[in-house]
Structure formats: C-alpha cells, structure tokens
C-alpha cells in the first residue's frame, strides 16, 4: 500500500469522551524591575514634562496644526530626496557628456588625419590609383557656345 494514502485511525477518540489535558508549563519567574531612568522614553518623560498637556486627553484642537506640520515635513523630506536624485542624475549625465565629447574629439582628429591628400594617396595606391602630377586645366565655355 502506498505511503501517501489515507488510513483510518485505530485509536480515534469517541465524540463525547474526555480527552487528555496537555500539561501546562510552569510560568517563568518575573524579571526584576528595571531601574528608572534607563529607558529613552523615561529620560524624555523626565526632562520634557508634558504630562499636563495630555491630562484631559488628546487635545483635538491642535490636531489640524500637527497634521499640517507633518504634511510639510513629509513634503520637505520628499523634496530633499528628489533633489538628491536629480543631482545624481545630473552628475551622471555630465560624466557621460565628457566621455562622448572626448570620443568626438578623437574621431574628428582621426577623420582629419585620414582625409589629408598624402593619406588618401597612400590608401588608394593598392587599388592602382595614382596621384596626378599635372595640374588641372580650366575649361572655359562661352555663353553662345552652349
């Protein structure tokens, strides 16, 4: 018989019988209390003294001002991140521009060198073309000839 088939349980408990109660572990002993003043919040509480502000509950009348300040702060943080990202993009673009300018200058120099008359003559000599030794002549056509 295959291992992954369902088999009926042999010692299945009946519906209305008592089941065995699992043993409960003993609770751990409580930690000794911490010394006052060691927590960050306790230090803030000791030096700020704002308990009187919340004595009657949360002051709802200040809620719009607090929410406005939170929105301005979030906008400021987002704007700072956006400016940093933009500056990084600008720096990256400047570096790419410098690389492309250097490539352009190199290619222009190579093109100017290759387009000299002596270089052109040297490059076409294997094809059987030679540089002309006679100067060019000017063809003059009168107006009434053509």
**The pLDDT of residue 96:** 97
pLDDT in tens, 62-104: 889 999 999 999 999 999 999 999 999 999 999 999 999 999 9
- Sequence-distant (6+) residues with CB within 8 A of 46 are 37
Q: Which residues of the chain have pLDDT under 70?
A: 1-15, 34-37, 146
Which pLDDT score, from 0 to 100, does residue 81 have?
98
- Model pTM above 0.85: no
pLDDT of 3 = 56
Q: What is the pLDDT of residue 2?
A: 52
Note the pLDDT of residue 146.
67
């Amino acid at each position: 018989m295959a291992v992954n088939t369902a088999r009926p349980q042999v010692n299945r408990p009946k519906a209305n019988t008592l089941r065995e109660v699992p043993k409960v572990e003993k609770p751990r002993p409580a930690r000794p209390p911490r010394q006052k003043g060691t927590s960050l919040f306790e230090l803030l509480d000791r030096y700020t003294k704002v308990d009187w502000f919340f004595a009657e509950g949360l002051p709802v009348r200040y809620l719009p001002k607090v929410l406005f300040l939170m929105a301005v702060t979030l906008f400021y943080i987002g704007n700072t991140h956006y400016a940093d990202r933009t500056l990084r993009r600008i720096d990256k673009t400047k570096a790419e521009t410098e690389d492309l300018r250097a490539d352009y200058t190199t290619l222009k120099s190579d093109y100017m060198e290759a387009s000299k008359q002596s270089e052109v003559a040297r490059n076409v000599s294997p094809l059987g073309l030679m540089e002309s030794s006679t100067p060019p002549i000017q063809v003059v056509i009168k107006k009434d000839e053509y």
